[in-house]
Every structure is written in structure tokens, then in C-alpha cells.
Structure 1
Amino acid sequence: MKISARNQISGTITAITPGAVNGQIKVDIGGGNVITSSITEEAVADLGLVVGDRVTVLIKASDVLIGK
């Protein structure tokens, strides 16, 4: 499968927190860094995501905001 997202980061799922509609997935990408993604519970089930899975985080955004 080809995709246009150029920011592709491999990691391991460390936590899945279910929600009413969306769940939060925490992915350890190494170096003490964790990315958290909010995806639908349907997507979590369809992908069969479980803690310990190796996954790829795909980031595609027209805006990236930084605050201090």
C-alpha cells in the first residue's frame, strides 16, 4: 500500500485506554518518547490492536502547532 504520509514512525503499543467512542493508544517510539493517538473503538477492534503490538504511527497534518 502506498500512502502520502511521509512521517512514519515505528513503535510498540504500551497502553490502550477504551472510551465510549474513541480509545487512546500510547505508542513507545524509543528514546523515552511516547505518541498518543485517539482513534475510534471500531478501528481498535478492526485492527485487532493489543498492548505489545509493533505498529507504525502515520502523521499527516497541514498544521503542526508548538506552544511554550
Structure 2
Amino acid sequence: MKISARNQLPGHVTKITPGAVNGTVKVDIGGGMIVTASITEEAIADLGLTEGDQVTVIVKASDVLIGK
């Protein structure tokens, strides 16, 4: 699958927390960094996500904020 997003971070799923409509998926991208994504339960099921899966976090946003 080719996509236009350039911000692609490989990692592995460390935790999936189900919710009523959306669940959270934590992905370890290395260097002690964890990315948390909130996606629909339907998407979690469609992707067949389970802890330990190798995935790619894809960031495509019109706004990126940096704080210090």
C-alpha cells in the first residue's frame, strides 16, 4: 500500500484499551517513546490488532503543535 503521508513511524502495539465506541492503541516506536492513538473499535477489529503486532503509526495532520 502506498500513501502520501511522510510521517511514518514503525513500532509494535504494547496495549489496546477498548472503549464503547473508540479504543486506545499504544505503540512503542523505540527510544522509550510511546504513541497513543484513539481509533474506532470497528477499525481495531478490521485491522485485527493485537498486542505485539508490528504496525506503522502514520501522522497526517494540518496542524502540528510543539510545546516546551
TM-score range, shorter chain: over 0.9
Q: Secondary structure at the residue paired with 2:43?
A: helix
Per the normalisation by structure 2, the TM-score is: 0.95
**How is 1:32-47 mapped onto 2 (pairs within 5 angstroms)?**
32-47=32-47
Q: Which runs of 4+ in 1 moved over 6 A?
A: none
Deviations 1:6-45 (CA, angstroms, capped at 9, x unpaired): 0001001000000000000000000100000000000000
Unaligned runs of 5+ in 2: none
Unaligned runs of 5+ in 1: none
Per the normalisation by structure 1, the TM-score is: 0.95
In structure 1, what is the Cα distance between the partners aligned to 2:23 and 2:4? 25
> Percent identity of the aligned residues?
75
Q: Secondary structure at the residue paired with 1:63?
A: coil
2:9 paired with 1:9: yes
In structure 2, what is the Cα distance between the partners aligned to 1:8 and 1:67? 21
In structure 1, what is the Cα distance between the partners aligned to 2:31 and 2:18? 26
State the Cα distance separating 1:57 from its structure 2 match. 0.4
